[in-house]
Amino acid sequence: MKRNRLFALALAGVTAFTLTACGGDDTDAPATSASATTAPAATSAAPTPDASAPAAADAGGDKKICEAVKEAGDESKQVLFDALQAGKEPTVKMLSETYTDMAVALGEAADAASTDSKVATAVKEFQTAVTEVAESSDPVAAGDKPAFQKTAANLTAACKETGVDINF
């Protein structure tokens, strides 16, 4: 029964991240290209955009943070999915290492965030929850707890507002 539960959790996560990965990368690439080509024009008209630049930078920064979070989740879930496909039973050690790697990546994303951002707050809360799951003796049960699920839902909602669809 535990194997079925782990497989369902991993498969659901991998599926969600696969779907979001397909949509997120297409929208980001043109935006990055547009920013690079419009940057010289913005510097020549610096006084006008300065007033709106912080708000735009925060929104763009939040989106980049959410994309980093999505990538961290994708990588973590891929490790589990690969193990299951290879017929390996995910062990507590494997799950703990996977969650630890995700917590490190979330920490890096949180460090890049502005302190007053809804996304930054959600990432930091989720990082704390992921760290607790990684350190638990039963990561599957810890990941099923309502507190963990709530922080995951909060992060999903915060990133959805930036246009990045994640699902933990």
Whether 80 is in a domain gets the answer yes
Whether 53 is in a domain gets the answer no
Whether 134 is in a domain gets the answer yes
Whether 40 is in a domain gets the answer no
From its phi and psi, is residue 163 left (phi > 0), alpha (psi between -120 and 50) or beta?
A: left
Supply the pLDDT for residue 90: 86
Report the number of distinct structural domains present in the chain.
Answer: 1
Question: Which residue range forms the structural domain that includes residue 97?
Answer: 2-29+58-160
Range with the lowest mean pLDDT among 32-36, 96-100, 122-126, 158-162?
A: 32-36
Supply the pLDDT for residue 167: 85
Whether 111 is in a domain gets the answer yes
Q: What is the number of alpha carbons within 13 Å of residue 93 lying toward its C-beta?
A: 1
Whether 137 is in a domain gets the answer yes
Separation between Cα atoms, residue 11 and residue 54, nearest integer Å:
39
Residue 92: band (very low, low, confident or very high) from pLDDT cuts 50, 70, 90: very high
Whether 44 is in a domain gets the answer no
Higher pLDDT, 90 or 34: 90
Determine the average pLDDT of the residues in 49-69.
66
Whether 74 is in a domain gets the answer yes
pTM of the model: 0.65
